[in-house]
Structure 1
């Protein structure tokens, strides 16, 4: 696996051993107002990635909540789950750049 992209996903914290053997690059695309991923989960994930020396990046989309790429999620952000067309388009462009980087080397 050369790379992993996550759109509004949960953040499972990798162990140091897992990161030592993993050579994949990580792109995390996250809604800044996503109530389903708690701040302490983000802190634990980013801390583990730093400590493990992973090649990772995390992009936050202001105003976006969970499921921001899913049109079927509706538009009521107060539920914590909603489609955000602007964040969806931007996140897709980030992923295309990420894939180009991975596969052009």
Structure 2
């Protein structure tokens, strides 16, 4: 997940249900996902013993990998509070490549 909502429609309640490895790249400055939602997501994954990596990127907003995010943000057109962050984009891409190398050995 890159700047995902983190809410689940069907919460995982038992270990072993989710067998995939998960990578979550989250912008720490994402106003569309509350700290409570982040905590709830982590608690759900931990309780279900899901193998996941959660990366919180300082200063990154929702949409940090989208070069058009600044143009679409609330500051210009009344849209959502999103923003492109080149450093976060590159870091999350590198994280994903490392994750794939680890998972697909």
Q: TM-score, normalised by structure 1?
A: 0.85
1:36 equivalenced with 2:32 (yes/no) = yes
1:64 equivalenced with 2:65 (yes/no) = no
Question: What is the aligned-residue RMSD (CA, Å)?
Answer: 1.8
| SS of 1:71 mapped into structure 2 | coil
* Distance (whole Å) between structure 1 residues aligned to residue 39 and residue 58 of structure 2: 18
Unpaired segments of 5 or more residues in structure 2? none
Which 4+ runs in 1 deviate beyond 3 A? 75-79
* Distance (whole Å) between structure 2 residues aligned to residue 96 and residue 26 of structure 1: 13
* Distance (whole Å) between structure 2 residues aligned to residue 74 and residue 52 of structure 1: 37
Q: 1:100 to 1:77 in 2, by over 3 A?
A: farther
Higher fraction of helix: 1
For 2:47, the equivalent position in structure 1 comes to: 51
Aligned pairs, number: 98
* Distance (whole Å) between structure 2 residues aligned to residue 60 and residue 39 of structure 1: 11
Q: TM-score, normalised by structure 2?
A: 0.85
Higher fraction of strand: 1
Unpaired segments of 5 or more residues in structure 1? 1-5
